[in-house]
Amino acid sequence: MKKVLLSLVACWLVLDVIAQTKITLNSDLAKTQINKHIYGHFAEHLGRCIYGGIYVGEGNTKIPNTAGVRNDVIQALKDLKIPNLRWPGGCFADTYQWKDGIGPKDKRPKMVNVWWGGVTEDNSFGTHDFLDLCERIGAEPYLAGNVGSGTVKDLVDWVSYVNHPGGSPMAELRKQNGREKPWNVQLWGVGNEAWGCGGNMTAEYYANIYRQYATFMADWNNTGKLYRIASGASDGDYQWTETLMKNIPHNMLSGVALHHYSVISWTDKGPSVNFNEQEYFKIMDEAWKMEEFVTRHSTIMDKYDPEKKVALIVDEWGGWYSVEPGTNPGFLYQQNTMRDAMIAGLTLNIFNNHADRVRGANLAQIVNVLQSVILTNEEKMLLTPTYHVMKMYNVHQDALLVPISIESPSYEFQGKKLTAVSASASKNAAGAMTISLTNIDYSKPHEITINLRGDEFSKVSGQILASAKINDFNSFEQPNKITVKEFAGAKLDKGVLKLTIPAYSVITLTLKK
């Protein structure tokens, strides 16, 4: 009898440790396309993102480069299949004078980067450098226009410089600077954070300003109307979205932006590496708020745009912590741990599942700033856990969203609860289905049962990103401490898929017929 009781206790303990998650997928109902631009990135003139990160100078013989851009960064970004790259900001965009960044580099005027560190910007990386980089990595450029301190003519001239085929003063200036054919840039941000560093405007005032700027932006190549994106809300400022959707004619509005960062507190952001569970839980809570923000902003947009012609573009998102000790506070350089992988997996699942309205997003930022996918130190370069998650998930780009229902136990801490497991799925043109799973639980693995409906599959393969500790990260001494590995723990039997996902890990599964 004693042995029986001990066995029962052991079973109860196992059930308590291995939480149960149930998922149902209906692959035959896949209709909505997951826009590839959800997987966009962001490069601002901030800290070591551009200089030392992307651009090391054309005369640099120590670090292999192409026209001054690091070859290792080019290759890493090509492998990541970046669909678009946003530039030059951010707050920097509304102080940037694009004409200062063209022509002979030794004749370009300097400026002071008043937003980020007060450093002198020599404008050696400008429009040609950025647009040529986008061509090399296969990404569409997303240019953020200066509305805060610029003029309508400044932005109109920029559009003409990069898009007009020839005959206009700006097109001829482009040709004099060595570029015969236009780049045909379609993605344009009409200002940035107009409610803050972009001008401290009211929503009503900005809506009128937007209408003015958008009126004069033209597409001379007739390759399609410019994709104009309005400076949208921060977090839960639903009135901002309401005002823009109400006051801007939708025929001149392609997208409305949204910014949300996962941050503990704007006064005390906490460490990027040596965080505790309380700090971890708070960041996960902030990451999960993206679901609420996307849902409620989308509901407002549905009121004015039931056909969903205007996209929600989350063009700044990611984790924000205190800078690494000993670094310039204005450079926003932080390490990237498994916690950041959790933010990435969870957020991308949210975006995928809202693909009917969310049709673009930009992780902040691409190199050496905030939640970077790449870190550099002189000739050294490493790929962060966030990079690996973005690469694992890029199979969803332009695939069809598979409707999903999920019942997940909570991750609990000090009486508060968060959904532990998030998931999204898609089906590609060949009929293969990919399921992405993220378990943010700080200590518990989760047993997952997935009921597959609508299609029959016979093969399953997988990848996993996991590590021994939530605080683990890739360093320049150990650049491959955290890497993607094969996952063979998923079992498929008669339309039911079973697996166990470890605590704080990300898994992608591919099913084929």
Given the structure tokens 């507190």, which residue do they identify?
265
Task: Tell me what the pLDDT averaged over the chain comes to.
Answer: 93
pLDDT, greater one: 16 or 218: 218
Phi, psi values for residue 469, rounded to 5°? -130, 145
pLDDT surpassing 70 at residue 500:
yes
Residue 22 has pLDDT above 60, yes or no: yes
Is the pLDDT score of 133 beyond 50? yes
Residues whose CB is less than 8 angstroms from the CB of residue 379 and which lie 6 or more positions away in sequence, other chains included: 62, 63
Tokens of 367: 């190199």
Specify the pLDDT at position 19: 74
pLDDT-derived band of residue 223, with 50, 70 and 90 as boundaries? Answer: low
Is the pLDDT at 319 greater than 80? The verdict is yes
> Is the per-residue pLDDT at 237 higher than 50?
yes
Whether the predicted pLDDT of 1 surpasses 90: no
Res. 13 pLDDT band, cuts 50 70 90: very low
- If phi over 0 gives left and psi between -120 and 50 gives alpha, with beta otherwise, what is residue 137? alpha
What average pLDDT does this structure show over 287-313?
A: 98
What pLDDT is recorded for position 219?
A: 72
17-30+403-512 and 36-397 agree in CATH topology? no
Give the pLDDT confidence score for residue 3 in this predicted structure: 44
Mean pLDDT across 100-120: 92
Question: 17-30+403-512: what fold?
Answer: Immunoglobulin-like (2.60.40)
The pTM for the full model equals 0.93
Strand boundaries in 123-171, DSSP class E:
140-145
Nearest to 54 by CA among 81, 105, 88, 83: 88
Q: Where are the alpha helices (DSSP H) in 460-512?
A: none
Q: Which of 373, 372, 389, 380 is nearest to 505 (CA)?
A: 389
Nearest CA to 39 out of 358, 480, 491, 333 is that of: 358
Band the pLDDT of 118: cuts 50, 70, 90. confident
Which class would CATH give 36-397?
Answer: alpha beta
Residues in the chain: 513
| Catalytic residue ranges | 193, 316
H helices, E strands: number in the chain: 10, 27
* Mean pLDDT, residues 17-39 taken together: 91
The full set of domain ranges for the chain reads 17-30+403-512, 36-397
Token duo for residue 324: 């690494």
